[in-house]
Amino acid sequence: MASSDAHESTQPKQRITTIIFAVLAIFFLALRLVARGMKHVHLGADDWTLILGLIFTLIIAGINLACIEYGMGTHTHTIPPEGQSMVFKLIYAFEPLYITTAGIIKFAVLLMYYRIFPVRFIKIGGLILGGTTLAWVIAMDFLALFQCWPIAKGFNPMLPGHCIVLKGALIGNGVPNFVIDICILAMPAKLIWGLQASLWQRVSIICVFLTGSFVVIASIYRFSLIFIFDITDVAWTIADAQTWCVVESAAGVISACLPTLAPIVKIFTKGVVSTARSLSKSNLTQSGTAALSQVDAGEAGLICGENKVTITAGDSRRHSNGNYAMGDMNPNNRGSSHLKGKGWTMISTETDREST
């Protein structure tokens, strides 16, 4: 049995998966920054938070690759003692860093929601979910760091002392993680569905945001891998779950970038955009109403012209990027129209743009 174990390895799979998703995360964040530059928009809190999230994602990807280099993905008893020591130390460092990474990306998504939909519902929901995320990060980081006593036993199992049931701790970490992800994913659906837009447009916008569902799927799949964890063969049984932590984090970065890529998508869809814009203007002329063409100048991924939409609720009138929209009432703004429906007021102006 030991002889066959010596030839078992999932290292190529772990290594390739880690590298691919790390590169994809970098690529999509670069596209997000390019899209920001094309719109002449200053980077906001959500952009900087996501950049931090990418940095942490690359850190845990690097640690995962180091774990693989020292033997993770093979059976523990086949790894030399010095390699086992390094694997245990790296896994110990990986746990709190992954939890922090997941929390940062959740904060970035919530901040993006607030910029796109600066309304009371999103603000309150964001505070609740943000507070829950912060509590989860602090609790799980504390648990990861102090899982054993003395602390050094957490990365040196041969030391005398006591540890919590690690498998139970991993399960306790995983459940709140994907539950919070599901809540964050579902939060803007009601607002999008209530917008003054055609069914196709609302479904299109929702689909863009639902790309974040891959994060939930990755989180749930990673959670299922925890059940094969065996403390007597850590290097073999933790490999898939740890690699999927990197996949989940990278997918979070990618999903947070997708709703912001409208200016880039527009370059490759000029013909479709032109047709959609003509239809939108025709409908406006005939019925006196207009469908939602863009949220934050294309933030929601539906690009039907150059209109920017201002959404106001109650006494707080702002652009979807969070800036107050007093200038929208200026008579010099051509093509302005005031649209009301379902408690929302939308002001679309073709000449309203942000600039550095």
Question: 126-147, pLDDT tens digit by residue?
Answer: 999 999 999 999 999 999 999 9
Band of residue 218 on the pLDDT scale cut at 50, 70, 90 = confident
Q: Which helix (H) or strand (E) holds 50?
A: helix 45-70
Mean pLDDT of 265-284: 59
**What value does the CA radius of gyration of the chain take, rounded to a whole number of Å?**
24
Highest mean pLDDT among 79-93, 109-123, 260-274: 79-93
Amino acid 285: pLDDT: 52
Cite the beta strand spans of the chain per DSSP E. 148-149, 162-163, 308-313, 316-319, 337-341, 344-349
pLDDT of 352 strictly over 70: no
What separation in angstroms does the CA of 102 have from each of 127, 215, 289, 322? 17, 10, 42, 25
CATH tag, 10-258? 1.20.1070
Whether the model pTM is above 0.85: no
Highest mean pLDDT among 284-288, 301-305, 332-336: 284-288
Burial 312-332 (b: 16+ CB within 10 A, else e): bbeeebbbbbeeebeebeeee
Cα separation, 102 vs 235, whole angstroms:
23
Question: 80-106, pLDDT tens digit by residue?
Answer: 999 999 999 999 999 999 999 999 999
pLDDT of 67 strictly over 90: yes
Band of residue 340 on the pLDDT scale cut at 50, 70, 90 = very low
CA-nearest of 92, 168, 181, 94 to 136 is 181
* Tokens found for residue 197: 């837009």
pLDDT of 330 strictly over 70: no
pLDDT of 298 strictly over 80: no
pLDDT of 76 strictly over 60: yes
Q: Which helix (H) or strand (E) holds 44?
A: none
Stretch among 205-209, 212-216, 275-279 having the lowest mean pLDDT = 275-279
**What DSSP string describes 66-101?**
HHHHHTBTB-GGGS-HHHHHHHHHHHHHHHHHHHHH
Band of residue 54 on the pLDDT scale cut at 50, 70, 90 = very high
Sign of CA dihedral 224, 145, 251, 215: positive
Question: Residue 82, class by beta-carbon neighbours within 10 Å (0-12 exposed, 13-18 middle, 19+ buried)?
Answer: exposed
Report helix, strand or coil for 338. strand
Question: 158-213, pLDDT tens digit by residue?
Answer: 899 888 887 788 888 888 998 999 999 888 877 777 666 667 766 767 777 677 77
